[in-house]
């Protein structure tokens, strides 16, 4: 029974890894493409900055779309306070991200000034998507 469970777990991990590889995240895809375009052979701070900004912009657009969808859903459900509350939290979230990422840049290193916001925006996309479901 234990062997069967281990085999099933192993198979599940292989399937998950294949699914993750099938849909590369935009940051890593950008890193690979930028390294190749610049012919530098490895990642450096400039690549982190370029790809973090590019990916953050992509996530920012997704956030705007999700907020619009939440607004429409709240209107359809006749719950305008829901959208209002989410917009309040959006401003608080933005302030948190700005400060948290300044801290990360100051204490971890300068690439975090760009990389940290990109990570936080990706997390926010997931969070707002959950609000729609």
pLDDT in tens, 17-34: 334 445 679 999 999 999
Domain around 62:
2-132
Q: What pLDDT, on a 0 to 100 scale, did the predictor assign at position 22?
A: 53
pLDDT in the model for residue 7: 39
pLDDT given for residue 19 in this prediction: 42
3-state secondary structure of 29: helix
| 92-101 burial code (b ≥16 CB/10 A, e <16) | ebeeebeeeb
Q: What is the pLDDT of residue 10?
A: 35
Q: What is the CA 56 to chain-centroid distance, rounded? A: 8
Distances in whole angstroms, Cα of residue 22 to Cα of each of 32, 56, 61, 83: 15, 21, 23, 34
Sign of CA dihedral 64, 68, 71, 77: negative
Looking at the structure of the chain, the number of domains it has is 1
Q: Which residues of the chain have pLDDT under 70?
A: 1-23
């Amino acid at each position: 029974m234990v062997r069967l469970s281990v085999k099933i777990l192993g198979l599940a991990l292989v399937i998950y890894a294949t699914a993750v590889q099938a849909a590369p995240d935009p940051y890593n895809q950008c890193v690979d493409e930028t390294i190749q375009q610049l012919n530098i052979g490895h990642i450096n701070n400039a690549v982190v900055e370029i790809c973090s900004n590019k990916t953050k912009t992509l996530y920012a657009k997704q956030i705007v779309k999700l907020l619009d969808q939440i607004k429409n859903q709240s209107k359809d459900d006749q719950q305008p306070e829901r959208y209002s509350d989410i917009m309040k939290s959006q401003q608080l979230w933005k302030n948190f991200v700005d400060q948290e990422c300044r801290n990360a840049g100051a204490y971890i290193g300068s690439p975090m000034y760009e990389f940290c916001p990109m990570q936080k925006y990706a997390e926010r996309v997931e969070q707002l998507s959950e609000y729609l479901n």
